[in-house]
Structure 1
Amino acid sequence: MAEQNGALCERYAVADVDSHIIEPADLWTSRISSQKWGDLVPHVRFHERRQEDYWYIGNRKLYGVGAFAQARWPEFPPSHPKKLSEAFPAALDAKQRLNYLDEVGVYYQVMYPNILGFHSHVFLKEMPPELATECVRAYNDWIAEWCSADSRRLIPMMMLPFWDIDESVAEMKRSHELGHKGVLFAARYDKVGLPRLVDDYWEPLLGQAQEMGLSMNFHVGFLNEPDDLKGAVDQSKKLDFTKESALVLLGNAQNVAEVVVSGVCHRYPRLNFVSVENGAGWLPFLGESMDWQWLNVGAHKEYPDRLLPSEYMNRQVYGMYWFENRSLRPVLDQLRDNLMFETDFPHATSLSPGPASESPSPREIIDRSLDGVPDDIVGNVLQHTATRLYNLEEPVRA
């Protein structure tokens, strides 16, 4: 059985499968020609009224440079660093990040974007597709370079120019060669006018991902609110924000149901799908409810060659948790080989104890949530499922 008092972080090379990098102000301006594209290249300018550095595309204001860098910030959200120099250094610098991981008992960390991850629709609205594609390439180059500080432990996830299927196929190959271990993707591209994922349109990309062993990762908020820059209610309205942010964490249920019931998992039996930053307690209920409806409406008679929805989930769908405790046990019972651990560092909801955070440390959460769980399950949740899924080198631990 799992031991207490911090022992789990010592016994396993813990994989944090969802974290973020705060993008530097020159990420795109240092890599893309301003002579050709002018201020359409994403850049940072000082916002006089707010007295804060802001990201811009042309004259379209996005958000403050430190809006996602709230780890160890001394005030509750929506307060955040107004300059990158005010942010916790581990949110920005790779060597500082590695030191921080050692401090909190984490070995691997999988990296997702902020700007491209949450606001790719704004890139498409505010710039030509050619430039948007350049921005994706520049990001993938930059994050691979950042992770090269220790490529065994820092794991980049690629963004794709999903608006162009041929460019996406090419970028998947290129980014994989750079060291990227998975794909940031969405299941409902029909919301932005593209075909559904089950359509043959996506076959070149999904087929290639399956052959390359790359998982498709559905991150909360990616294409969630295409007409809303904030993607959520005002954080200063605490009651509304509590309600809406909790509901957002169920958002990937629609994505999982789409790939399971539409036939995507059936067509690509070796392609894995990951629900990122959505918790895991809802996964057993979703599987059971889809099975109930599948049988109740007679879909099993109409599609006799199909598995039950929950069987596809067991085979190809993965989830992760960070704060859950009471709702975690049913997942461990039913999806023990499909569950991983995350911290969401350095976002406001992350496992980052600080002056304005109620969060325990990752060490405490791990020991509390997995207390009494058999060792083989603990090993999968904390390390082995992630290393298999993302093809990571397993270190030798004493």
Structure 2
Amino acid sequence: MATDLFDRTRVVDVDTHLTEPPDVWTARVPASRHDDVPHIERIDGRDTWMAGGNRIGSPGFYSMAGHDGVMPASVPETYADIAPAMYDAKARLAFMDAEGIDVQVLYPNVGGFGNGYFLNLGDRELVTQCVRAYNDFLTDWCSAAPDRLIAITALPFWDVDLAIEEMQRCLGNGHRAINFCNQPQDYGQPPLAHRHWDPIWAAAQEAGVPVNFHVGGGSMGTQYVDTAGMGWMTHFAKTSSQIFMDNMRCVADLVFGGVCHRFPDLNFISVESGVGWIPGALETFDWQWTNGGVLDEHPEYDLLPSEYFRRQIYGCFWFENQVARDAINLYPDNILFETDYPHPTCQHPGPRTKAQRPRDYAERVFAGLPDEVTVKVLSGTADKLYGLAP
């Protein structure tokens, strides 16, 4: 019987999300704080996350895989409408088996893609409890198959000492990397290029784990307000396309700010930000670096931006076609595969969407690429970064 690419090759999906179950926080903080932490209330027939009397979203909005239609008209209203694979670990493993995916790396929703939402709770002790509760939940969830469900620590970046403490605690519990905010200045913190963050980079380098920057990790609140009157869905699509550039700025901070130079053994991963922009950005960085006097101010820098990238920075893709192939051809050791399951634009279609199953997409985009390159992108590089055993 004929087999497709996913049957022949190990697949590590480096960016997926889990739909947090209703009791993530209420099961892990004192009962007296249940109204203050994220919890589910049924409002106008829709399961809604609430905290401190404020609405903070609904699980259906980021649990769209396989549903007919697009937001906001076709959003699942309650957990009963959401596929169990989105919030139950055993069901997720069964889904992965059916789709031919060996490993998935897991990111949050409720706390924000860079963990910054928790700061809105105000009370720093409560904020700390919520971050730890999420990380403990993730440890428990991934224990169903810790070599297939990969836990990424939500880092409380706003407190360097706490961040290092939480990193070490969670790595001791089996987590494989840390999730850091790509735009910390959005939360009143120094930008990534600032040496303020060096203790965190040093701790991660010593631990031998990568630092992951998920797209949209900064504050996206004002970006999603349609001030031009173009329509909610149109504006959402426009903004979701543009936030890739936040990670371009993130990579520029790491390179031009000397972070890569100071921490040569530390790996950084740009998550859910696509890869088509990478060749153009790196050509631009190299040109400005060479002609803009960078080495006059920093004679210690010993590589070009593109060389720092080759050494220690990685990007992920899930829908691009020719531009993904171009990036792979130029940077075959730095490109990773993802599906973004179960977000609205993930590679897992509903009846009316133009997406497709990940295995069908991969069959097309990898066609004609050398086998050794395909294996690197689908699993080999991710295995090395996350310390996985093939």
The question of whether the paired residues in 2 share the 8 Å contact of 1:6 and 1:367 is answered with no
Q: Give the match's secondary structure for 2:48.
A: strand
Runs of 4+ in 1 over 3 A off after TM superposition: 118-122, 230-239
Partner of 2:53: 59
The question of whether the paired residues in 2 share the 8 Å contact of 1:235 and 1:241 is answered with no
Spell out the pairing of 1:276-287 with structure 2 (5 A cutoff). Answer: 276-287=271-282
Partner of 2:109: 114
Q: Which amino acid aligns with 1:174?
A: R
Partner of 2:18: 21
Spell out the pairing of 1:258-273 with structure 2 (5 A cutoff). Answer: 258-273=253-268
Partner of 2:332: 336
Partner of 1:389: 385
CA drift at 1:6: 4.9
**Alignment partner of 1:92 is 2:79:** no
Partner of 1:246: 241
The question of whether the paired residues in 1 share the 8 Å contact of 2:47 and 2:78 is answered with yes
**Alignment partner of 1:72 is 2:66:** yes
Distance 1:235 1:55, change over 3 A: farther
Partner residue of 1:176 out of 171, 176, 183: 171
Supply the distance in 2 between the matched residues of 1:368 and 1:141 (Cα, whole angstroms).
Answer: 39
Partner of 2:30: 33
Supply the distance in 2 between the matched residues of 1:119 and 1:292 (Cα, whole angstroms).
Answer: 31
Query: What do residues 163-201 of structure 1 show as CA deviations (whole Å, max 9, x unaligned)?
Result: 211111111011001111111102431232222334333
CA drift at 1:144: 1.3
The question of whether the paired residues in 1 share the 8 Å contact of 2:15 and 2:105 is answered with yes
CA drift at 1:40: 0.9
Distance 1:302 1:200, change over 3 A: closer
Supply the distance in 1 between the matched residues of 2:237 and 2:35 (Cα, whole angstroms).
Answer: 36
Q: Give the match's secondary structure for 1:384.
A: helix
- Normalising by structure 2, what TM-score? 0.94
Question: Is there any run of 5+ residues in structure 2 with no aligned partner, and where?
Answer: none
Q: Give the match's secondary structure for 1:221.
A: coil
Partner of 2:370: 374
Most deviating of 181-190 and 162-171: 181-190
Q: Which amino acid aligns with 1:264?
A: V
Q: Give the match's secondary structure for 2:266.
A: coil
Q: Give the match's secondary structure for 2:154.
A: coil
CA drift at 1:241: 3.0
Partner residue of 1:350 out of 346, 349, 352: 346
Q: Give the match's secondary structure for 2:55.
A: strand
The question of whether the paired residues in 1 share the 8 Å contact of 2:182 and 2:192 is answered with yes
**Alignment partner of 1:363 is 2:359:** yes
Spell out the pairing of 1:177-326 with structure 2 (5 A cutoff). Answer: 177-225=172-220, 227-228=221-222, 231=224, 237-306=232-301, 307-326=303-322
CA drift at 1:60: 1.0
Most deviating of 188-197 and 171-180: 188-197
Supply the distance in 2 between the matched residues of 1:284 and 1:193 (Cα, whole angstroms).
Answer: 31
Supply the distance in 2 between the matched residues of 1:255 and 1:138 (Cα, whole angstroms).
Answer: 28
The question of whether the paired residues in 2 share the 8 Å contact of 1:34 and 1:41 is answered with no
User: How many residues align structurally?
Assistant: 385
Distance 1:333 1:271, change over 3 A: same
Supply the distance in 1 between the matched residues of 2:17 and 2:159 (Cα, whole angstroms).
Answer: 25
Supply the distance in 1 between the matched residues of 2:34 and 2:176 (Cα, whole angstroms).
Answer: 33
- Say which structure, 1 or 2, has more relative contact order (CA 8 Å, 6+ apart): 1
CA drift at 1:157: 0.6
Partner of 1:82: 77
The question of whether the paired residues in 1 share the 8 Å contact of 2:114 and 2:181 is answered with no
Supply the distance in 2 between the matched residues of 1:66 and 1:53 (Cα, whole angstroms).
Answer: 8
Partner residue of 1:327 out of 323, 326, 330: 323
Supply the distance in 2 between the matched residues of 1:213 and 1:104 (Cα, whole angstroms).
Answer: 31
Q: Give the match's secondary structure for 1:363.
A: helix
Question: Is there any run of 5+ residues in structure 1 with no aligned partner, and where?
Answer: none
CA drift at 1:80: 1.1
Supply the distance in 2 between the matched residues of 1:257 and 1:146 (Cα, whole angstroms).
Answer: 35
Query: What do residues 88-140 of structure 1 show as CA deviations (whole Å, max 9, x unaligned)?
Result: 12111111111111111110000000011348444212331111111111111
Supply the distance in 2 between the matched residues of 1:232 and 1:142 (Cα, whole angstroms).
Answer: 32
Distance 1:361 1:236, change over 3 A: farther
Distance 1:118 1:236, change over 3 A: farther
The question of whether the paired residues in 1 share the 8 Å contact of 2:316 and 2:338 is answered with yes
